[in-house]
Amino acid sequence: MMNIGKMMRQMQDVQTKMTDMQNRLGDVEVTGQSGGGAVTVTMNGKGEVRKISIDPSLLIPAEKEILEDLIVAACAAAKTKADSHIATETDKMMGGLQLPPGVKLPF
């Protein structure tokens, strides 16, 4: 069984690393696309939309609802990539930390 003091030190290290990672997420950029690339959304790792690019051929008033749906889909695709990036970085950071069964990070 793991020494509780050692586990607490590891948890403090993980908490510091989590804070550092969260601070760096603003610098991470991910891009999601929909409509075969007709709509592109760029967001940071915190889920903040930074840029939306729309192919001019979609700017038809009668197609407004389709364009709105494509924007939502591109945002969702970018968010999925951001979440994947966060999960990957969290796994790297955890590197061997043995948590008791049922305990998950982030808390």
For residue 8, the model assigns a pLDDT of: 81
- pLDDT per position as a tens digit, 31-45: 999 999 999 999 988
47 CB-contact burial (10 Å; exposed 0-12 / middle 13-18 / buried 19+): middle
Q: Is 59 helix (H, G, I), strand (E, B) or coil?
A: coil
- The residues, any chain, with a CB within 8 Å of residue 99's CB and separated by 6 or more, are 105
pLDDT value of residue 103: 60
For the chain, domain boundaries? 28-94
pTM of the model: 0.65
Per-residue model confidence as pLDDT tens digits over 57-69: 999 999 999 999 9
Task: Please name the fold of domain 28-94.
Answer: Ybab; Chain: A; (3.30.1310)
Helix (H) or strand (E) holding 26: none
Band of the pLDDT at 107, cuts 50, 70, 90?
very low
